[in-house]
């Protein structure tokens, strides 16, 4: 039973028991209704207590029912709420640990609410592109006030019960129960004390007013509108709360329902729900059981204190894990440590980090020039120069000094991890941990699975990623792994667009309007155009016939590497990141077109976006088919967390699914006919072709 019923001393107790967070699935909803009815029919029962077993009162909707028919099966949450609210015996919610979404809406229908200290309260629906659809937008403002309720509903953020309880005049909770006290006993005592009450209090009967409603909602609309950008849900949340202040309760509920249903059909909500499941799926590795014993990681070593080594170290220091960082020269070591300090100091200055926390973190960091200091680390991450010879030296040394059973990781972004593993006598312990720059900020981690990487190594690294607040995705050993292998095709396509007549600023603007954090040319300037140059030089040897625009090479020949040299596709003022158009670059591109005999044409923003996004999609389909990514949603995670793809579009694969794979293929066929593009480039990957032909989607 996912809702247990028992009677104790005249009091019926209904305990939600649907682990892990007592989601309100069909069986649980049915159980609650049956429990309430049984209690109402039992003359010996004077009052009802509803509580949750285990780690929550209720986390809200049951995620296993998401987007399934069961979510709507009667009794739905509205039905449960009505039964509770209309009960003619007092219903007391005994709330602890977590009360969220539908769980809070259910509690708001109870006549009384007791809350244990430390409980986390939230209406997080907006994070899935929705609004609380079971009365939350109508009842919450009635108990905590319009402004506080709007803040909670629009942000979806969690608020501690104590904070809500401390607001003057609040009617959300009747009592705060000390963490040491027995919540259920207290709730039963409370239920007995109100058993005689005939006119039971209902939140729906409370007034809902704001003294300056017009002005307040006007202001809120501007603020929320600016914050929400491309997301419809936050403004709809506002509309629903405003309705609570203007309409009678039942009319308000109806309005909420209408807004909720409209949001459910938006692509933005579908994208956010896709992301919710994608994140959960990403941590699972198909052939690695979830109960695989993990290796203990108490101490970490980092080799190389450059751009990446410093950022990587900070992740562990932030999580309270000691790090020993190794360099070859004192000077480089000092520079690396100084950068870490500078980053932390900037956070202290901004008030994001307390001075004592900063000192605590720095105290966990040990600079070193000797491998002897790494003997007992449990994990070592190499972040030295991107040259196989240097990697060989480092891994040979690591193999000889690091204790057996430790994990040896490389942060390489392009080199063959299997070859790196072969430099050791323990390739099963070698794995890729590909962080993204700046490594202390970017949430993505590609965990690169070598041919011989042991399952427990993978499981340990995936768990560790969570601990250091990264979103990890498993990638196979392929050139560029998932993210960079795709970006190479995207950059090639951006080059073709330049050749044909678009300017870097038009392309960047079109892509940014689509929602990317940054267009391809600004991104190149940020990452360093020399990186792509090096890759192209390598490709010229490997695939001499591969077509690409030479404009980026010409740019690099001028030393315009990007922000680090103050000049790339754009100019940059010292210390600033604002791109300034440079006429010389435009002339250079123009000259290149003339030399290649191309008459520039006007290209629409739509074409730009489609060519760039579909170039990602096609390469991703190859990656998926070749088995270098486990699932399409992992690829979306890589692009959302590592490459600034707009969240509200759910990643390139989700976008392609929404666009329709048949339409994607048709569009690609059209691009293939363009003489200035590359017909080979637009050959749909076999998987894409097949799915499109069968009317299916990427999974
Ligand atoms: P970097 O040049 O900033 O830092 C490399 C550091 O390693 C230097 O401080 C150097 O003194 C040190 N080093 C070189 N040989 C060493 C050795 N034998 N022992 C100890 N230290 C040694 O380079 P960056 O950008 O930090 O890159 C490091 C690795 O991370 C490379 O494999 C790179 O491909 C990868 N990577 C870089 C990204 C980026 O955006 N910069 C992103 C993801 C991965």
Residue range 501-520: mean pLDDT, rounded: 97
Is residue 310 scored above 90 in pLDDT?
yes
Distance 383 CA to ligand 1 centre (A): 4
Q: Across the chain, what does the average pLDDT equal?
A: 96
CB 524 within 8 A of CB 483: no
Write the Ramachandran bin of 320: left for phi over 0, alpha for psi from -120 to 50, otherwise beta. left
Q: Can 345 be counted among the known catalytic residues?
A: no
Quick one: average pLDDT of 392-404?
98
303 CA distance to ligand 1 middle (Å): 8
pLDDT digits (tens, 9 = 90+) for 637-658: 999 999 999 999 999 999 999 9
Predicted local confidence at residue 575, as pLDDT = 85
Residue nearest to atom 35 of ligand 1 (CA): 412
What number does the ligand 1 atom closest to the CA of 410 have? Answer: 32
Q: Which of 125, 327, 446, 500 is catalytic?
A: 125
CA of 306 to the centre of ligand 1 (A): 5
pLDDT computed for residue 610 by the predictor: 98
Choice from 301, 303, 308 to test ligand 1 binding pocket (greatest atom count within 8 A of CB): 308
CA distance 329 to 315: 23
Which atom belonging to ligand 1 lies closest to the Cα atom of 326? 20
Indicate the burial class of 154 (C-beta count within 10 angstroms; 0-12, 13-18, 19 or more).
Answer: buried
Residues 231/268, Cβ–Cβ less than 8 Å: yes
Give the closest residue to 481 by CA, choosing from 527, 530, 448: 448
pLDDT at 677 (0 to 100): 85
Each residue of 124-147: pLDDT tens digit?
A: 999 999 999 999 999 999 999 999
Mean pLDDT of 331-350: 97
Residue-wise pLDDT tens digits, 605-623: 999 999 999 999 999 999 9
Is it the case that residue 121 has pLDDT exceeding 90?
yes
- Taking the domains of the chain in order of start, what are their residue ranges? 3-264, 300-475, 483-693
pLDDT at 67 over 90: no
* pLDDT tens digits, one per residue of 94-108: 999 999 999 999 999
d(CA 145, CA 142): 6
For residue 595, the CA-to-ligand 1 centroid distance in Å is: 38
Domains 300-475 and 483-693 alike in fold: no
Cβ-based neighbours of 218, under 8 Å, separated by 6 or more: none
Domain made up of 483-693: CATH architecture: Orthogonal Bundle (1.10)
Asked if residue 182 has pLDDT above 90, the reply is yes
Which pLDDT score, from 0 to 100, does residue 254 have? 98
Q: Return the percentage of the chain with pLDDT > 70, whole number.
A: 100
Pocket of ligand 1 (CB under 6 A): 303-309, 326-328, 332, 383-386, 390, 393-394, 411-413, 434-437
Residue 252 exposure: Cα atoms within 13 Å on the Cβ side: 27
Structure tokens at 351: 């008030």
Q: Is the peptide bond before 438 cis (omega within 30 degrees of 0)?
A: yes
Whole-prediction pTM: 0.93
3-state secondary structure of 160: strand
Return the pLDDT at 481: 98
| Residues 115 and 97 sit within 8 Å (Cβ to Cβ) | no
Instruction: Say if residue 69's pLDDT is above 90.
Output: no
Take atom 44 of ligand 1 and give the residue whose Cα is closest: 413
DSSP SS3 for 147:
helix
Residue 647: name the closest of 633, 632, 637, 656 by CA: 637
Q: What is the 3-state secondary structure (H, E, C) of 277-312?
A: HHHHHHCCCCCCCCCCCCCCCCCEEEECCCHHHHHH
Q: What is the pLDDT of residue 358?
A: 97
Q: Which CATH class is domain 300-475?
A: alpha beta
Distance 514 CA to ligand 1 centre (A): 33
CA distance 637 to 688: 19
Place of tokens 């972004």: 413
Which residue's entry shows tokens 């027995």? 182
Give mean pLDDT, residues 303-321.
Answer: 97
CA distance 110 to 236: 26
Is residue 1 scored above 90 in pLDDT?
no
CATH architecture type of domain 3-264 = Alpha-Beta Complex (3.90)
> Distance between CA atoms of 162 and 56, rounded to whole angstroms?
17
Look up residue 161 and give its two tokens.
Answer: 């019960």
Q: Dump pLDDT digits (tens) for 663-681.
A: 999 999 999 999 888 899 9
Do 431 and 447 contact (CB within 8 A), yes or no? Answer: yes
CA 385–ligand 1 middle distance (angstroms)? 4
Cβ atoms of 528 and 555 closer than 8 Å: no
**pLDDT for residue 298:** 98
Distance 386 CA to ligand 1 centre (A): 6
Which residue's CA is the closest to the ligand 1 atom numbered 29? 383
**Most ligand 1 atoms within 8 A of CB, residue of 301, 309, 331, 412 to mutate:** 309
Expressed in angstroms and rounded, the spacing between residue 412 Cα and the centre of ligand 1 is 9
Atom of ligand 1 nearest to the CA of 308: 26
Q: How far apart are CA 470 and CA 447, in angstroms?
A: 11
Residue 592 burial (C-beta neighbours within 10 Å; 0-12, 13-18, 19+) = middle
| For residue 212, pLDDT beyond 90 | yes
pLDDT at 48: 98
Q: Ligand 1 pocket test: which of 385, 408, 420 has the largest number of ligand atoms within 8 Å of its C-beta?
A: 385
Position 676 scores a pLDDT of: 84
Q: Please name the residue whose Cα sits nearest to atom 8 of ligand 1.
A: 306
Ligand 1, atom nearest to 414 Cα: 34
Query: Which of 305, 306, 331, 641 to mutate for ligand 1's pocket (most ligand atoms within 8 Å of CB)?
Result: 306
Spacing, Cα 310 to ligand 1 middle (Å)? 10
Residue 431 in 3-state DSSP? strand
Which one is catalytic: 85, 105, 268, 619?
A: 105
pLDDT per position as a tens digit, 437-463:
999 999 999 999 999 999 999 999 999
pLDDT at 229 over 90: no
Tell me how far apart the alpha carbons of residues 306 and 236 are, in angstroms, rounded to a whole number.
46
Which pLDDT belongs to residue 353?
A: 96
100, 121 Cβ separation under 8 angstroms: yes
Q: How far is the CA of 695 from the centre of ligand 1 (A)?
A: 45
pLDDT-derived band at 359 (thresholds 50, 70, 90) equals very high
Residue 629 in this model has a pLDDT that exceeds 90: yes
High-pLDDT (> 90) share of the chain, %: 94
Least Cα distance to 50 among 20, 78, 87, 76 occurs for 87
Distance CA 395, CA 427 (A): 10
- Which has the closest alpha carbon to 47: 107, 5, 91? 91
pLDDT in the model for residue 681: 94
What is the atom index within ligand 1 of the atom nearest the CA of 310?
A: 26
- Determine whether 360 is an active site residue: no
Look at ligand 1, atom 16, and give the residue with the nearest C-alpha.
384
- Of the candidates 422, 478, 491, 468, which has an alpha carbon nearest to the alpha carbon of residue 448? 478
Confidence of residue 72 (pLDDT cuts 50, 70, 90): confident
- Burial of residue 352 (CB within 10 Å: 0-12, 13-18, 19+) is exposed
Of 381, 384, 443, best ligand 1 pocket probe by most atoms within 8 Å of the beta carbon:
384
Q: Of 193, 162, 143, 29, which is closest to residue 95 (Cα–Cα)?
A: 162
160, 118 Cβ separation under 8 angstroms: yes
Q: Examine the pLDDT at 55 and tell me if it is beyond 90.
A: yes
Average pLDDT over residues 478-503: 96
Atom 14, ligand 1: residue with shortest CA distance: 384
């Amino acid at each position: 039973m996912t809702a247990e019923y028992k009677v104790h001393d005249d009091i019926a107790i209904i305990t939600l028991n649907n682990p892990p967070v007592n989601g309100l699935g069909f069986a649980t909803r049915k159980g609650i209704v049956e429990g309430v009815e049984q209690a109402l029919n039992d003359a010996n029962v004077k009052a009802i207590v509803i509580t949750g077993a285990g780690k929550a009162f209720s986390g809200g909707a049951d995620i296993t029912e998401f987007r399934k028919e069961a979510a709507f099966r009667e009794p739905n949450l509205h039905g449960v709420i009505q039964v509770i609210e209309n009960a003619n015996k007092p219903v007391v919610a005994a709330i602890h640990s977590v009360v969220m979404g539908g769980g809070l809406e259910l509690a708001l229908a109870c006549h009384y609410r007791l809350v244990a200290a430390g409980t986390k309260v939230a209406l997080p629906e907006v994070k899935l592109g929705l609004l609380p659809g079971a009365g939350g937008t109508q009842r919450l403002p009635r108990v905590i006030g319009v402004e506080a309720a709007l803040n909670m509903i629009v942000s979806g953020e969690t608020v501690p019960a104590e904070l809500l309880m401390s607001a003057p005049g609040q009617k959300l909770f009747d009592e705060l129960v000390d963490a040491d006290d027995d919540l259920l006993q207290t709730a039963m005592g409370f239920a007995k004390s109100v058993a005689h009450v005939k006119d039971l209090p209902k939140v729906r009967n409370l007034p809902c007013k704001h003294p300056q409603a017009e002005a307040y909602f006007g202001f809120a609309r501007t603020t929320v509108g600016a914050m929400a950008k491309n997301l419809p849900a936050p403004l709809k949340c506002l509309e629903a709360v405003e309705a609570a202040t203007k309409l009678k309760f039942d009319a308000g509920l109806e309005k909420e329902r209408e807004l909720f249903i409209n949001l459910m059909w938006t692509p933005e909500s579908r994208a956010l729900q896709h992301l919710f499941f994608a994140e959960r799926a990403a941590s699972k590795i198909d052939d690695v059981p979830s109960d695989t014993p993990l290796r203990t990681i108490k101490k970490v070593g980092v080799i190389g204190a450059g751009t990446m080594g410093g950022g990587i170290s900070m992740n562990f220091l932030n999580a309270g894990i000691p790090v020993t960082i190794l360099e070859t020269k004192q000077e480089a070591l000092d520079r690396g440590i100084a950068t870490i300090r500078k980053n932390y100091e900037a956070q202290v200055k901004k008030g994001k980090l307390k001075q004592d926390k900063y000192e605590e973190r720095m105290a966990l960091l040990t600079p070193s020039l000797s491998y002897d200091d790494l003997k007992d680390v449990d994990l070592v991450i190499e972040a030295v120069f991107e040259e196989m010879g240097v990697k060989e030296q480092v891994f040979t040394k690591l193999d000889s000094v690091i204790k057996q059973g430790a994990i040896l990781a490389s942060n390489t972004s392009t080199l063959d991890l299997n070859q790196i593993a072969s430099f050791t006598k323990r390739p099963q312990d070698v794995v890729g941990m590909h962080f993204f720059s700046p490594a202390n900020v970017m949430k993505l981690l590609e965990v690169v699975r070598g041919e011989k990487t042991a399952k427990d190594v993978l499981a340990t690294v995936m768990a560790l990623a969570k601990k250091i607040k990264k979103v990890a995705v498993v990638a196979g050993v392929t050139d560029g792994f998932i993210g960079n292998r795709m970006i190479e095709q995207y950059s090639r396509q951006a080059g073709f667009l330049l050749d044909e007549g678009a300017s870097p600023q038009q392309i960047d603007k079109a892509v940014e309007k689509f929602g990317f954090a940054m267009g391809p040319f600004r991104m190149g300037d940020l990452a360093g155009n020399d990186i792509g140059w090096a890759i192209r030089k390598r490709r010229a040897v490997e695939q001499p016939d591969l077509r690409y625009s030479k404009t980026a090479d010409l740019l690099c020949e001028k030393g315009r590497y990007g922000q680090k040299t103050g000049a790339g596709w754009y100019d940059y003022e010292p210390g600033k990141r604002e791109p300034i158009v440079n006429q010389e670059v435009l002339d250079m591109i123009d000259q290149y077109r003339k030399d290649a005999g191309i008459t520039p044409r006007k290209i629409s923003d739509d074409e730009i976006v489609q060519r760039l996004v579909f170039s990602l999609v096609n390469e991703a389909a190859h990656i998926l088919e070749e088995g270098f990514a486990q699932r399409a949603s992992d690829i979306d995670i890589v692009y959302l967390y590592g490459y600034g793809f707009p969240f509200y579009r759910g990643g390139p694969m989700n976008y392609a699914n929404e666009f329709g794979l048949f339409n994607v293929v048709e569009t690609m066929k059209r691009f293939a006919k363009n003489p200035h593009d590359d017909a080979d480039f637009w050959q749909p990957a076999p998987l894409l072709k097949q799915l499109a032909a069968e009317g299916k989607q990427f999974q």
